[in-house]
Amino acid sequence: MQKLSRRQVSIVQALYSRHGRKKLNLSICEGLKVCKELEKRNKELISFAVCQEGFDEDLLETELITLSKSEFSKISSSVNSQGVIFIIERPEIATEFESLNDSFSILLDKISDPGNFGTIIRTAKSIGLSQLFYTKGSVDPFSDKVIRSAIGAQFSLQLIELRDVQTAIEMFMNNGRKAVYRTDPHKGVSCFTSQELFENSVVIFGSESSGLNEIEGTMDVTIPMPGKFESVNLAQAATVIMFEYVRRLEIK
């Protein structure tokens, strides 16, 4: 059984705060699924890896430092931990961009729920987007919770943090985007019938709590909901729009 030095323990603990992650340029990833994905795609970013005694080391290729239960619990955030943690280099987050790589872009405004943010990052990656934009005031995409929901997809696409929606729109327009759509739960063109929704465009999603104010120069787009229930969850709305894009690709 090995032991972490006091310094190592305090490094890992610091990674549960945004400040600590920024200062140390590291992130913490807990759980078998996310560690497996990181090993597959981002091996070069793994700084060190620890597991709890009893963890089946054959499940992963990375060399693991084995800790006793009580040592491991000092650095784990999870009540039902699967007993494995990777410490991984945290990429610098861009605050501007030089080019737009995808045929449409998604901008998230002040997204605050880690589960929603992670799910959207994972979904964006799964549909093949290479960039994802969000505004300042959002939760840190490299927090442990966001990493877990995204199963590490944030290490495989470019995240760009922009100051606010207005600044973002200007930057998009300067880079050749032709149209900006603001998602609205109640009004606007239907995402299923709007012909130009993904034609060199940006689609903006508001935060879970406050939604999006009207934005000059944008068009409203909405997701039809025959059930007349309260609007769907933010990550679901983003998923519907993203897979409508996939559908159109497929029938082309």
- Answer yes or no whether residue 128 interacts with a second copy by CB under 8 A: yes
Would residue 31 be called left, alpha or beta, if left means φ above 0 and alpha means ψ between -120 and 50 degrees? left
Nearest to 85 by CA among 103, 67, 109: 67
Cβ proximity to a second copy: between 94 and 225 the closer is 225
Residue 35 DSSP SS3:
helix
Contact range with a second copy by CB under 8 A, out of 49-57, 66-74, 91-99, 224-232: 224-232
Contact range with a second copy by CB under 8 A, out of 51-59, 65-73, 104-112, 119-127: 119-127
DSSP string, 207-251: BTTTB----TT-EEEE---TT-PSPPPHHHHHHHHHHHHHHHHHH
- Answer yes or no whether residue 1 interacts with a second copy by CB under 8 A: no
Cβ proximity to a second copy: between 90 and 122 the closer is 122
Q: At what angle do helices 114-126 and 234-251 cross, to 10 degrees?
A: 10
**Minimum distance from CB of 73 to a second copy (Å)?**
19
**Minimum distance from CB of 112 to a second copy (Å)?**
12
Secondary structure element (H or E) that encloses residue 181, with its range: strand 179-183
The residue from 46, 127, 173, 189 that contacts a second copy (CB under 8 A) is 127
Q: List the interface residues with a second copy, window 183-202 (CB under 8 A).
A: 190, 192-193
- Between CA 207 and CA 243 the distance in angstroms is 20
- Answer yes or no whether residue 125 interacts with a second copy by CB under 8 A: yes
- Answer yes or no whether residue 225 interacts with a second copy by CB under 8 A: yes
Cβ proximity to a second copy: between 214 and 250 the closer is 250
- Answer yes or no whether residue 229 interacts with a second copy by CB under 8 A: yes
- Answer yes or no whether residue 77 interacts with a second copy by CB under 8 A: no
**Minimum distance from CB of 21 to a second copy (Å)?**
21
Cβ proximity to a second copy: between 12 and 235 the closer is 235
Residue 132 near residue 100 (C-beta atoms within 8 A): no
- Answer yes or no whether residue 52 interacts with a second copy by CB under 8 A: no
Cβ proximity to a second copy: between 135 and 149 the closer is 149
- Between CA 221 and CA 219 the distance in angstroms is 7
**Minimum distance from CB of 110 to a second copy (Å)?**
18
Residues in Cβ contact with 196 at an 8 Å cutoff, skipping those fewer than 6 apart: 179
CA atoms within 13 A on the CB side of 56: 4
